[in-house]
Amino acid sequence: MKTHARAFLWWIMLLLAACSSGHDDEDTLAARAHIALAAQAPGVTPFIHTLTLDLAQFDALTSIAYTIEPRPGTRSKPVAVTYERAWLERRNAYAAAARRLALPVFGLYAGYHNVVTITATFGDGSIHRQQVPVDTPAYSAADAFYDAPAVQAARSGAALPGLDFIELHNILGPPVVIDSDGHLRWAGAGLSNSVSTLFSGGGFFVGDPRAPVLYRLEPDGALNAAPIPAQLGGSAATTTLTNFHHDLAPGKTGLLAEMDGVTNGVASIGTILIELGPDGQVLRQWDMARILRDHMLANGDDPTDFVRDGADWFHMNSAIYDRAADALYVSGREHFVVKLDYESGRIAWLLGDTSKDWYLNYPSLRALALTVSDGNPPIGQHSLSITAGGNLLLFNNGAPSFNAPPGAPAGATLPYSAPVEYRIDDAARSAQVAWTHEHDRNIVSDICSSVFDAGTGHVLVTYSAAADRTQLRLAGIDRAGTIGFEYAYPSINCTAAFLARPIAFDALQLR
């Protein structure tokens, strides 16, 4: 009886929706398009659906958008996505002969009766609006636990601009998206690891941790692969790329990717940074082993015991581009953060723990060190970014070097982990702690982890390896330290999230 009642209600809603066009005037393009729901079909996961619409005049369409009604009692904004006609054309979404448009809808709740509002806008400004019910099955894959966090602090009623939706890069499969109420809202298929991920241009770029292959995973579930050229050129050394590791980030013109490789027959572990075009072509390359070795030799130091080919002596885990400075910032977990000139690769400064080998035993590196005031230097850091105010933001794990040479000092260990923002004065060669959030100094997350500023005064903090590396903690906070939500998930050694970033599923424009 419940099944029949739901089916009857569904058809009643369709009939009512068919009568609720934004304009009834038959002279408008919206009216002449005769939009109607023809069919709907599930996607690769319950969070994705395809609505097939009858559409007589596709050329008159400028855009089509949808919103998903939030569940009662939740506070996250609705999922809201707009497709411009060019995007639909590029994806061959319109079948001209049948006069039907395949409209991907993603961000649905799994195991739920979703209400989707579709708004089509035409060249004359007229619109057609209707509601469509979409019933989804439950989700039971290995990452379904994201839908049931242990709530440390429930989503507050306060506005949390920029933090309504969160993407998590993990070791279980494709990236996932949750909302700030703790509901799982998106998961793809076809990938077994998404640590190296960047959402850019309306899709997820994902680097393969086992091969030099860059994937593009669309929000509607489509997956494509682009092999990376195996060999890097431009120097006397021959480097063959083997795999992606750690993060992807926006570059000057492409994507910054941390890669492993083999150089002249010897493993290059955690030292190679390249900039990629979206189709996988290599645009630029930097090798921290070569850059640091050349600097040390040019300034009178012997790099033999510092730059150790074949060992994980640097451990690059984050690299970003700063457009205002035309510079790269590269995190080597074992030692320091490096600022490089983008064009020349010249080292501008080093920021790290001065109780380590690099500062104590190598004058050429010590001369590049920034002095830190009002707080701790980066120690075992991850997740670099530049704030809207131009400061350097990172997650300070507080872990000493894991791969120091025998007899070399491994550096300090902090009793807690925390996000830290540094205000850097290049001329004075100083770094001042401008902001930090210590969470009562009760969380240690010594590996992975991240912090990202939503650009709105709110910050997303990810403790990837809390509770002796058995727990993921996600917290949305403001600059005063007020926690807007905090959730915990089971995780072993960053399995559930290497890092997490805000993602604009509430205002996504696909062009």
| Residues 312 and 269 sit within 8 Å (Cβ to Cβ) | yes
SS3 sequence of 443-468: CCCCCCCEEEECCCCEEEEEEEEHHH
From 369, 347, 210, select the one nearest 288 (Cα to Cα). Answer: 347
The tens digit of pLDDT for each residue in 363-376 reads 999 999 999 988 99
pLDDT at 374: 86
Give the pLDDT band (50/70/90) at residue 489.
Answer: very high
The DSSP line for 277-336 is: -TTS-EEEEEEHHHHHHHHHHHTT---TTTS-TTS-SS-EEEEEEETTTTEEEEEETTTE
| Residues 132 and 14 sit within 8 Å (Cβ to Cβ) | yes
Q: Which of 8-12, 299-303, 434-438, 507-511 has the lowest mean pLDDT?
A: 8-12
Q: For the chain, count helices (H), then strands (E).
A: 7, 36
Structure tokens that stand for 467 in this block: 């509770």
Give the pLDDT band (50/70/90) at residue 10.
Answer: very low
Please state the pTM of the whole predicted model. Answer: 0.93
* Cα Rg, the chain, nearest whole Å: 25
Name the class of domain 144-506.
mainly beta
Cα(25)–Cα(360) distance, rounded to whole angstroms? 79
Cα(170)–Cα(350) distance, rounded to whole angstroms? 30
pLDDT at 238: 84
The tens digit of pLDDT for each residue in 38-62 reads 999 999 999 999 999 999 999 999 9
pLDDT for 64 beyond 60? yes
Cα(229)–Cα(213) distance, rounded to whole angstroms? 9
Cα(422)–Cα(239) distance, rounded to whole angstroms? 35
Q: How much is the average pLDDT of 79-108? A: 97
Q: For residues 499, 504, 508 and 511, what is the CA-based torsion angle, rounded to 10 degrees?
A: -50
The residue type of 230 is A
The DSSP line for 119-147 is: EEEETTS-EEEEEEEEE-----STTGGGG
- Residue 275 pairs in a beta bridge with 256, 284
The tens digit of pLDDT for each residue in 323-363 reads 999 999 999 999 999 999 999 999 999 999 999 999 999 99
- Residue 129 pairs in a beta bridge with 119
| Residues 444 and 438 sit within 8 Å (Cβ to Cβ) | no
- Selecting from 1.10.10.60, 2.60.40.3100, 2.40.110.20, 3.30.1660.40, what CATH number does the domain 2-135 have? 2.60.40.3100
Q: What percent of the chain has pLDDT over 70?
A: 94
pLDDT for 5 beyond 80? no
Cα(183)–Cα(108) distance, rounded to whole angstroms? 10
- Domain ranges in the chain are 2-135, 144-506
Give the pLDDT band (50/70/90) at residue 4.
Answer: very low
Mean pLDDT of the chain: 94
Structure tokens that stand for 35 in this block: 């939009």
Say which residue, 212 or 20, is predicted with more confidence: 212
| Residues 358 and 336 sit within 8 Å (Cβ to Cβ) | yes
β-strands 336-341, 316-322 pairing: unpaired
* 36 burial type by CB count under 10 A (0-12 exposed, 13-18 middle, 19+ buried): middle
pLDDT for 24 beyond 50? no
Q: What percent of the chain has pLDDT over 90?
A: 90
The residue type of 98 is A
pLDDT for 236 beyond 60? no
Say which residue, 279 or 351, is predicted with more confidence: 351
Give the pLDDT band (50/70/90) at residue 279.
Answer: confident
The tens digit of pLDDT for each residue in 418-474 reads 999 999 999 999 999 999 999 999 999 999 999 999 987 899 999 999 999 999 999
pLDDT at 18: 41
pLDDT for 7 beyond 50? no
pLDDT for 378 beyond 60? yes
